[in-house]
Structure 1
Amino acid sequence: MTTTLQTRPVTETPRPVRTAPRRRKPRAYKIFRVVALTLTVLLFIAPLVWMFISSLKTNVDIYDASKTLFFTPTLDNYDNVLGRNNYFGFIFNSFWVALLSTIFSLIIGVPAAYAMSRFTMHRSAIVVLMARIIPGVSLLVPWYFIFANMRMVGGFGVLILSHMFVALPLIVYIMISYFDSTPLELEEQAQVDGLTHIGAFLRITLPLSVPGLATAGILSFIFSWNNFMFALVLSGANTKTLPVAIFNFVSYASIDWGSLMAAAVVVTVPIMVIALFTQKYIVSGLTAGATKG
Structure 2
Amino acid sequence: MKTKYWPTAYQLVLTFIVFIVFTFPFIWMLMASFKTQVQVLSTDHIFIFKPTFKNYIDVFRENDYLRYLFNSFLVAVGSTIFSLILGLPAAYSIAKYRMHKLGTVILIAKMIPGITYLVPWYILFTKLHLIDTYTVLILSHMVIGLPFIMWVMIPFFEAFPVEVEESSWIDGSSKIRAFLSIVLPVSVPGIVTSALLSFIFSWNNFMFSLILAGEKTKTLPIAVFNFISASNINWGALMAAACIITLPVTIMALFSQKYIVSGLSAGAVKG
TM class by smaller structure: over 0.9
Give runs of aligned pairs for residues 232-271 of structure 1, distance below 5 A. Answer: 232-271=210-249
SS of the residue corresponding to residue 202 of structure 2 reads helix
| Aligned AA (1:248) | N
Aligned partner of 2:75 among 70, 93, 97: 97
Q: Which has the larger radius of gyration?
A: 1
Aligned partner of 2:138 among 160, 170, 189: 160
Alpha-carbon displacement from aligned partner over 1:133-190 (angstroms, at most 9, x marks no partner): 1011122112112111221111111110111011011110111111111110011111
Specify the alignment match of 1:196 in structure 2.
174
Q: Equivalents in 2 of 1:233, 1:25: separation in Å?
A: 57
Structure 1 position 35, deviation (Å): 3.6
**1:207 and 2:185 correspond:** yes
Structure 1 position 39, deviation (Å): 2.0
Alpha-carbon displacement from aligned partner over 1:90-134 (angstroms, at most 9, x marks no partner): 110000000000000000000000100111111111111110010
**1:131 and 2:114 correspond:** no
Specify the alignment match of 1:50 in structure 2.
28
Give runs of aligned pairs for residues 45-84 of structure 1, distance below 5 A. Answer: 45-84=23-62
Q: TM-score of the superposition, structure 2-length normalised?
A: 0.94
Any conservation in 2 of the 1:58–1:74 contact (CA below 8 Å)? yes
Any conservation in 2 of the 1:180–1:289 contact (CA below 8 Å)? no
**1:175 and 2:184 correspond:** no
Structure 1 position 30, deviation (Å): 5.4
Alpha-carbon displacement from aligned partner over 1:216-256 (angstroms, at most 9, x marks no partner): 11111111111111111111111111111101100111111
| Aligned AA (1:154) | D
Any conservation in 1 of the 2:193–2:260 contact (CA below 8 Å)? yes
Specify the alignment match of 2:196 in structure 1.
218
**Residues 204 and 86 of structure 1: is their aligned pair in 2 closer, same or farther, counting only changes over 3 Å?**
same
| Aligned AA (1:53) | M
| Aligned AA (1:220) | S
**1:108 and 2:86 correspond:** yes
SS of the residue corresponding to residue 239 of structure 1 reads coil
Q: Equivalents in 2 of 1:204, 1:183: separation in Å?
A: 11
Any conservation in 2 of the 1:102–1:217 contact (CA below 8 Å)? yes
Q: Equivalents in 2 of 1:219, 1:120: separation in Å?
A: 25
Structure 1 position 200, deviation (Å): 1.7
Structure 1 position 53, deviation (Å): 0.9
Specify the alignment match of 2:252 in structure 1.
274
Structure 1 position 71, deviation (Å): 2.0
**Greater helix fraction, Structure 1 or Structure 2:** 2
| Aligned AA (2:98) | T
| Aligned AA (1:280) | K
Consecutive unaligned residues in structure 1, runs of 5 or more: 1-21
Aligned residue pairs total 271
Specify the alignment match of 1:12 in structure 2.
none
Specify the alignment match of 1:288 in structure 2.
266
| Aligned AA (1:24) | T
Specify the alignment match of 1:17 in structure 2.
none
SS of the residue corresponding to residue 171 of structure 1 reads helix
Alpha-carbon displacement from aligned partner over 1:179-220 (angstroms, at most 9, x marks no partner): 111110011111111222222212221222222211111111
**Residues 67 and 24 of structure 1: is their aligned pair in 2 closer, same or farther, counting only changes over 3 Å?**
closer
Structure 1 position 38, deviation (Å): 2.1
Q: After TM superposition, which residue ranges in structure 1, 4 or more long, deviate above 4 angstroms?
A: 29-32
Q: TM-score of the superposition, structure 1-length normalised?
A: 0.87
Q: Equivalents in 2 of 1:184, 1:104: separation in Å?
A: 27
**Residues 54 and 40 of structure 1: is their aligned pair in 2 closer, same or farther, counting only changes over 3 Å?**
same
